[in-house]
Structure 1
Amino acid sequence: MAAAREIKAREVVEPGDDDAVELAKRHLVQPWPYAGSVGAEARALIGEGEDIYITDASGKRLIDGPAGMWCINVGHRREELARVMYDQAMALSYNTPWYTMNAPSAELARRIADAAPGDLSHTFFTTGGSSAVETALRFMQFYNNVRGRPEKKLILSRGGAYHGSTYLSASLNGRPRDRHWMDGADELVIKLSSPDPFRRPKEMSIDAFTDFLVDQFRDTVARVGAGRIGAFVGEPVQASGGVVVPPDGYLKRIREICRENDILYVSDEVVTGFGRLGHVFASGEVFGLDPDMITFAKGVTSGYFPLGGVIISERLLEKLRRSNHPDALFGHGLTYTSHPIGCAVALKNLDLLEEGVLQHAREIAPYFQARLKTLEELPLVGEVRGAGLMACVECVADRESKDPLQLDKDVGKRIDAHCHELGLLVRPLINMCVMSPPLIISREQIDDMVAILREGISRTMDDLRKEGVWRG
């Protein structure tokens, strides 16, 4: 029986098997494609992963700078997670959440409640971050309907935000390119300014910028009417917007305005949760918040299985239970809600985090940020910013104007191409490079990562000068 349970790691499709590149071009639709290449595109083929590294189709070993997509927190090829996945599949591979339940989901919900701030005590499990945010928004709508406030449905979001790809969650996104050709529930969403200190007016101090953001929020509530606004959704750190770390105290002040006006505060921790900032949740431990809901995904399983969720305040649930509509149905659910394999993997992943990975992340984060900050010596780099083990290198044409290189929108991709050749995978975002490596990264590996990124940026500067695109 033991032999039958051995994990056969080699029983996978290898790079080049059946010519994966050509198969992708003929049959695979990639996420976020351009119309001119949709359904006819192949991307960098990755074959294996181990520790903080991945190996591409040519056999080149690369530091996984983005940790997959902010998610491979405990590193690649953790046998503990693979075995849990196998054992749970052999015990119970699936159960319908409509009229049955499983033990791993109940235990995971308890442990999440123990780690969450305030009175966040109940979790609805989803399949990822988009469905987690969608669930939070639908819960807000249901909550206000049951309480006799059907007009209280508007949602406040911000420029630079990214909250998902489902219809409602994508409607909150504040990056213009996300919405140029896509529809959304624009009638339900109000966008506020991004809390990006780097992009504040030149003459404005950080304190004045913070006051501006808070005043804008308060004025919007007064103008629109608190009776029409159901929720504010915000990332503690805007991740895909370029690792925007808000000014000190800003989020707590926004939370107070929400509390004063009975607006639900939804903290989107799809990226920052489960260790990225050194804690299971950053809302309370890092930012001093007690949200009404927290959404999470990605790091909850370290990317080993699709899982997400929304944690809901006991106060909100109690108000529903005491309402005059006990038969009101929250008509929302997913086929894979509370998936037993995903929840079992998340439990083991949480063990790994709490047994040392979180502490390591907290201890090494200052070194990670300090080493990356040295890249500001390069004239193409306008700012290096970050928190915990997430950071962004933003490139500009010149530091005075902070021009985000409108003459060449592929600066991030240029840097990534050079870094790939040198042994590092970067996440390029137009004129930015985002770094969020696995939390187990060592000081020596950080040194390697920064050295490669420095060389990749230097080579890009040479390219831009030769092409006459940039004179720095």
Structure 2
Amino acid sequence: MTFARASTAAILDQDAHLIQSFADLNALKAQGARTVISRAEGAYVYDNDGQKMIDGIAGLWCVNIGHGRREMIEAIANQLQTLDYYSTFYNFTHPTAAALSQKLAELAPGDLNAVYFGNSGSVANDSAIRILHHYNIRKGRPNKLKVLSRHGAYHGSTHLSMAMTTPGYSEGWTAASELVHHLRAPHHWREGGEMTEAEFLDALALDLSQSIDRIGAENICAFIAEPIQGAGGVIAAPQGYHRRMQEICRAHDIKYIADEVVTAFGRLGHFFASEAVFDTTPDIINTAKGLTSGYQPMSATIVSDEIHDVISGPDGMFLHGMTYSGHPAAAAAALTNIAIMEREAIPERVRTTGAYFERKLRGLSDIELVGEVRGSHFMIGIEFVKDRTTKESHPAEVEVGLKVARACQKRGLIARPLGNVLILSPTLIMDEAMIDEIEGILREAITEVAAGL
């Protein structure tokens, strides 16, 4: 079955019934507020009227190998022809989920050898906490349930994962906030004041230690952290932060969860960034997005042997599961995605091209509107300021990030606005020429907006 392409006007009429994620639903009613993406290939997407644009956000941090890969599409179709659906519930499994669980155990660091599949990063993070609650109950510690997260974090949109997300995302909503305590944001440029980076790291470590003392280690099951905070503004913590935090957690028998929903599968140059980049071996790693490069919805919660031994012991009934956990087509997509990345050495290439991307975008700091360019490799945030000396931001109603994003889009680049920050997280297949083009578009767009302000 094929679908004829409707006119943009007709699609937008239909779209009036669609509740879009993380959008100002009232503002979307305005003429021209929505963009219809109808086709994609490689590093590019096309709107319904034919405009070609560089996908500077890889869909949503996820299309790592690029759009329209025939090998991926054929693998998914072939799997559907063989086994369209069966669950990994009860005593059932299937070859593709089994093979993928083994492959992820091989790729993950340390003794993270047991894999639970879900269908989103939110579910992966939510599942990690449910598993640890169950783990502690089985160990006779029913009060060890609370979670340490951080201001600036983003861990998802379920009731629990939203509670672990920075509080600003819960404004006007509810979340399971009674379970979560938020530590200081690890953003030296904004939060460090006159401290050196090393002094700021000491302050962050003290904040963690004092929080544990106040809440009680006997009440805390986990500390959860993104290696680089993503939707909180692309915030990279001071060097040595993750190892320092993990050491404190280990000393208090608190599990360390790495939310690698964004950073895994090549974005920072490795299949997993925790050990290779940040010198940590978490107790749990959560991933999604780049796991299938967005071709199918899938996530994985990868847990240590020690945790798995406890939850799989005598009377080890695992009362947690999703209908689509380990879906055959999603598992086939993930296996094919990993095979492509290995064959084409995409993570290894990112160590060069991603470093070039980072270097080129950091060069935008010579524009007065740019306060800070931060992040690493193909995960960059550009923060705009009213005054570079005081770091004063423009008022929210000025919508600087949105203005720059719109100026980029009309020049053929999709970037993500987040208040006064612009986020770039492109596909991982770009070469230096395309990176130069992105830098040029950004420079023109930022200069245009700055002149208008």
TM-score (norm 2): 0.96
Rounded to whole Å, the distance in 2 between the matches of 1:378 and 1:40 is 32
Instruction: Note the alpha carbon deviations across 1:94-131, whole angstroms, 9 max, x for none.
Output: 00222321111111111111111110001100001001
State the partner residue of 1:29. 19
Aligned partner (choices 114, 120, 127) of residue 135 of structure 1: 127
Rounded to whole Å, the distance in 2 between the matches of 1:409 and 1:131 is 35
1:67 has 2:58 as partner: yes
State the partner residue of 1:172. 164
| Preserved contact between residue 117 and residue 326 of structure 2 (Cα < 8 Å) | yes
Rounded to whole Å, the distance in 2 between the matches of 1:179 and 1:320 is 32
Instruction: Note the alpha carbon deviations across 1:289-347, whole angstroms, 9 max, x for none.
Output: 1101000000000000000010000011123345xxx2253211000001000000100
Shift of 1:182: 0.7
Gaps of 5+ in 1: 1-7, 465-472
Q: Which amino acid aligns with 2:184?
A: S
State the partner residue of 1:368. 357
Q: Which amino acid aligns with 2:140?
A: G
| Preserved contact between residue 357 and residue 440 of structure 1 (Cα < 8 Å) | yes
1:189 has 2:180 as partner: yes
1:448 has 2:437 as partner: yes
State the partner residue of 2:340. 352
Rounded to whole Å, the distance in 1 between the matches of 2:156 and 2:56 is 21
Secondary structure of the corresponding residue to residue 364 of structure 2:
helix
Choose 29-38 or 414-423, whichever is displaced more.
29-38
State the partner residue of 1:282. 273
Runs of at least 4 residues off by over 6 Å: 38-42
| Preserved contact between residue 8 and residue 36 of structure 2 (Cα < 8 Å) | no
Secondary structure of the corresponding residue to residue 88 of structure 1:
helix
Secondary structure of the corresponding residue to residue 19 of structure 1:
helix
Rounded to whole Å, the distance in 2 between the matches of 1:28 and 1:293 is 35
Shift of 1:179: 1.1
**Residue 431 to residue 37, structure 1, CA distance change in 2 (3 Å):** closer
Shift of 1:186: 1.3
Q: What is the root-mean-square deviation in Å for CA atoms of aligned residues?
A: 1.6
Aligned partner (choices 86, 104, 112) of residue 120 of structure 1: 112
**Residue 240 to residue 407, structure 1, CA distance change in 2 (3 Å):** closer
Percentage of identical aligned residues:
39
1:336 has 2:327 as partner: no
State the partner residue of 1:86. 77
Shift of 1:241: 1.1
Secondary structure of the corresponding residue to residue 270 of structure 2:
coil
State the partner residue of 1:470. none
Q: Which amino acid aligns with 1:349?
A: N
State the partner residue of 1:111. 103
Shift of 1:159: 0.4
| Preserved contact between residue 366 and residue 388 of structure 1 (Cα < 8 Å) | yes
**Residue 12 to residue 278, structure 1, CA distance change in 2 (3 Å):** farther
| Equivalences for residues 184-333 of structure 1 within 5 A | 184-322=175-313, 326-333=314-321
**Residue 456 to residue 18, structure 1, CA distance change in 2 (3 Å):** closer
Instruction: Note the alpha carbon deviations across 1:184-236, whole angstroms, 9 max, x for none.
Output: 11111000111111112431111100000011101111121100001111000
Aligned partner (choices 63, 75, 96) of residue 87 of structure 2: 96
Secondary structure of the corresponding residue to residue 332 of structure 1:
coil
| Preserved contact between residue 311 and residue 318 of structure 2 (Cα < 8 Å) | no
| Preserved contact between residue 53 and residue 61 of structure 1 (Cα < 8 Å) | yes
| Preserved contact between residue 30 and residue 39 of structure 1 (Cα < 8 Å) | no
State the partner residue of 1:468. none
| Preserved contact between residue 260 and residue 286 of structure 2 (Cα < 8 Å) | yes
| Preserved contact between residue 115 and residue 302 of structure 2 (Cα < 8 Å) | yes
Gaps of 5+ in 2: none
| Preserved contact between residue 24 and residue 40 of structure 1 (Cα < 8 Å) | no
**Residue 345 to residue 446, structure 1, CA distance change in 2 (3 Å):** same
Shift of 1:409: 4.5
Q: Which amino acid aligns with 1:187?
A: E
Rounded to whole Å, the distance in 1 between the matches of 2:261 and 2:3 is 29
| Preserved contact between residue 138 and residue 310 of structure 2 (Cα < 8 Å) | no
Rounded to whole Å, the distance in 2 between the matches of 1:454 and 1:68 is 22
Secondary structure of the corresponding residue to residue 118 of structure 1:
coil
| Preserved contact between residue 29 and residue 38 of structure 1 (Cα < 8 Å) | no
Rounded to whole Å, the distance in 1 between the matches of 2:6 and 2:407 is 22
Aligned partner (choices 136, 154, 161) of residue 153 of structure 2: 161
